[in-house]
Amino acid sequence: MAVSNALVTNLVSPITLSFCLGLFAKTIKSELSVPKEVYMGISLYLLYSLGLKGGVELAEADFSQIMFPAFATILLGCITPILTYIILRNIGRLSVADSAGIAAHYGSVSAVTFIAAQSFVSEVISQTPGMKNLEGYMPTLLALLESPGITIALAIGVFNSKSNGEKSRAALLHEVLTSRTMMLLVGGLIIGSLIGHKNWEMVSSFYDPKGGIFKGLLCIFLLEMGIVTATRIKDFKKVGIFLVMFGLTIPIINAGIAIIIGHYSGLSLGGCVVLASMAASASYIAAPPAVRMTLPEANPSYYLTLALAITFPFNIIIGIPFYMEMAKKYYEFSS
Amino acid sequence: MELAKRKIVTIVAESVLENLICERILELGATGYTVIESRGHGSLGRNAGEIPGSNIRIETIVKQEVAEVILDAISKEFFDKYSIICFMSDTLVLREAKY
C-alpha cells in the first residue's frame, strides 16, 4: 500500500471523519457539543476496554516475548521528553519551565491517538494478506509509556528552575500513578489477565476493541475531540511560528526513534507503527494538571495548543499512515 | 434567635488547586468549607479555565483572626503563580460554636 493509499484508508474511516465533523461544526459556530458526562463515560469505557482486552492477550503472551518491547517502551519514555526538552531549550530558546512543561506532554501518551493507531493498523492488516497480526499486549506498552515521560520532564523542570510548585514530588507521583487513565488501564490489564478466555467471551461483545460498539463510541469521542481542537485553533497566533513547526516536526522525530527501537525489540511492523504513534503523541489529559501544579510558570497556552490543536490532529489525519510508511521502509531496509 | 458575627472567606481559583487550598485552609484553622464549580472572566490575560475543567469557588466561614491568616497565606503562596482571587466579607451565623 502506497502512502496515498494508506492516507485514503485513514481519511475515509468513520473515526477520522467524525473528528473532521467536530472540527467543522465548531468552525462554523454550530451549537453541536457532546455533554461532558457522555464524553467522560465514553473515555472510561474506551480505556477499560483496552485494558481488559490487553490483559486477556497479556495472559497468553510469553514473558520473553514481551520483555524486550516493554524495555524498549520504557527507554522511549525516557528519551522523548529529554530530546524534546533539549530542542525547545536550545533551539527554541524557551524558558526552563516552558520547555519542561511541553516535554512532559510529549513524553506522555495520548490514549486516543493510541486507539486510532491500533484501529488503523488492524484495518491495514486485514487488507494486506501475509502481514503479521498486531501484538495483543500493546495496551501494556501504553500503560508503561504513560508515566515516565511526565515524571522525567517535570523533574528536569523542577531541578533546573529552583522555584518549586506547590505540590511535593511524592504527591505528584501519586497523582500521576493513580489517575483515572492509569486505574482503568492497569486495572483492566490485571482483571483481563485473571479472567481467562471463557470469562472474556461473556463480555467480549461489549468490550472488544475490534467490535462495533467500541468503534462506534470512539467516533462520538473523536467528534468531541474535533470540537475541542477547533476551539484551540485560534490560539495559533499566541504560540508563534516556531512552536507550530515544532508541533508538526517533533512527532515525526519521536516516531522515527520509536520505529528504530521498536524494530530492535522485535515488534512486528504493525506493533511498531502503534508504538511510533504513541511516541509521536502528546498527552492532553494527564499532563496538563500535573504540569500546572508543578511548573506554574509554564504558559498553559503553549502546551495545550501544541498537544491539542497541532500534534493531535496531525497524528490522527496524516501522522499515523505516514508512520506506517516510515516503518515499512525501515523494515525493508534493515531486512 | 442569636446571631454571631463571622467572616466568609471566598477563594476563586483554577480547579487544579482544589485539594491543595482545601487542605491548607483546614490547617490554618477553618472548621469546614464548601466548593462550588464556577466559571467567569477575570482581569488576567491568562485564563484559568485553559485546562479542561472549570474553576472552583471555595467558601469558608471563620472568625476574623482565622480569615486574616488564610488571606495572608493564600496571597503569599499562590498569587504570583496561579490565576486566583481571594476576599472576605461579613456574615451573621447561627450556632456560632460551629465556626
Centroid of chain to Cα A272? 14
By CB neighbour count within 10 A (0-12 exposed, 13-18 middle, 19+ buried), where does B1 fall? exposed
Domain containing B10 — which CATH number? Answer: 3.30.70.120
Query: Which residues are bridge partners to B10 per DSSP?
Result: B59, B87
Position B49 scores a pLDDT of 46
- The runs of H, that is alpha helices, within chain A are 3-11, 14-27, 36-60, 63-86, 96-107, 111-127, 138-161, 169-177, 180-207, 212-233, 236-264, 269-280, 287-294, 300-304, 312-314, 320-334
The answer to whether residue B56 is domain-embedded is yes
Position A57 scores a pLDDT of 87
Interface test with B, best of A166, A225, A299 (most B CBs within 10 A): A166
Please answer yes or no on whether A289 and B77 come within 8 Å at the CB atom: no
Of the pLDDT bands very low, low, confident and very high (cuts 50, 70, 90), residue B38 is confident
Which residues, 6 or more positions from A260, have their beta carbon under 8 angstroms from its beta carbon? A330
3-state secondary structure of B10: strand
Position A167 scores a pLDDT of 59
User: How many structural domains compose chain B?
Assistant: 1
Chain A, nearest residue to B45 by Cα: A301
Position B51 scores a pLDDT of 60
Position A288 scores a pLDDT of 85
Contact predicate A270/A132, CB 8 Å? yes
Please answer yes or no on whether A288 and B46 come within 8 Å at the CB atom: no
Which residues, 6 or more positions from A64, have their beta carbon under 8 angstroms from its beta carbon? none
Please answer yes or no on whether B20 and A300 come within 8 Å at the CB atom: no
Alpha-carbon separation of residue B7 from A253, A285, B56 (angstroms): 56, 37, 19
DSSP B2: -
Of the pLDDT bands very low, low, confident and very high (cuts 50, 70, 90), residue B45 is very low
User: Is residue A296 within 8 angstroms of chain B, CB to CB?
Assistant: yes
The answer to whether residue B38 is domain-embedded is yes
Please answer yes or no on whether B51 and A293 come within 8 Å at the CB atom: no
Interface test with A, best of B81, B82, B84 (most A CBs within 10 A): B81
User: Is residue A300 within 8 angstroms of chain B, CB to CB?
Assistant: yes
For residue A293, the chain B residues in CB contact (below 8 A) are 16-17, 20
Interface test with A, best of B23, B51, B54, B55 (most A CBs within 10 A): B51
In B25-44, the residues whose Cβ lies within 8 Å of chain A are: none
State which residues form the domain around B53: 4-92
Q: Which residue has the cell 463571622?
A: B6
Chain A, nearest residue to B50 by Cα: A300
- A3-334 — its CATH code? 1.20.1530.20
- Helix/strand/coil (H, E, C) string of A213-240? HHHHHHHHHHHHHHHHHHHHHCCHHHHH
**What residue segments make up the domains of chain A, in order of their start?**
3-334
User: Is residue A164 within 8 angstroms of chain B, CB to CB?
Assistant: no
DSSP for B28-86? TT----EEEEE----SSSS-GGGSSS-EEEEEEEE-HHHHHHHHHHHHHHHTTTS-EEE
Question: For residues A118-143, b (16+ Cβ closer than 10 Å) or e, as one string?
Answer: bbbbbebbeeeeebeebbbbbbbbbb
pLDDT tens digit sequence for A188-227: 999 999 998 889 999 999 998 888 899 999 999 999 989 9
Position A169 scores a pLDDT of 67
- Tell me the shortest Cα–Cα distance from A40 to chain B, in angstroms: 12
- Tell me the shortest Cα–Cα distance from B51 to chain A, in angstroms: 7
Does residue B42 register a pLDDT over 80? no
Pairwise pLDDT comparison (B46 vs B83), residue with the higher score: B83
- Tell me the shortest Cα–Cα distance from A184 to chain B, in angstroms: 20
Query: What is the pTM assigned to this prediction?
Result: 0.85
The answer to whether residue B40 is domain-embedded is yes
The answer to whether residue B98 is domain-embedded is no
User: Is residue B46 within 8 angstroms of chain A, CB to CB?
Assistant: yes
User: Is residue A301 within 8 angstroms of chain B, CB to CB?
Assistant: yes
Position B48 scores a pLDDT of 44
Q: Tell me the Cα Rg of chain B.
A: 14
Which residues of chain A fall below pLDDT 70? Answer: 1-4, 161-169
Please answer yes or no on whether A167 and B20 come within 8 Å at the CB atom: yes
Q: What is the ipTM of this complex?
A: 0.73
Please answer yes or no on whether B14 and A166 come within 8 Å at the CB atom: no
Contact predicate A195/A207, CB 8 Å? no
The answer to whether residue B88 is domain-embedded is yes
Please answer yes or no on whether B46 and A301 come within 8 Å at the CB atom: yes
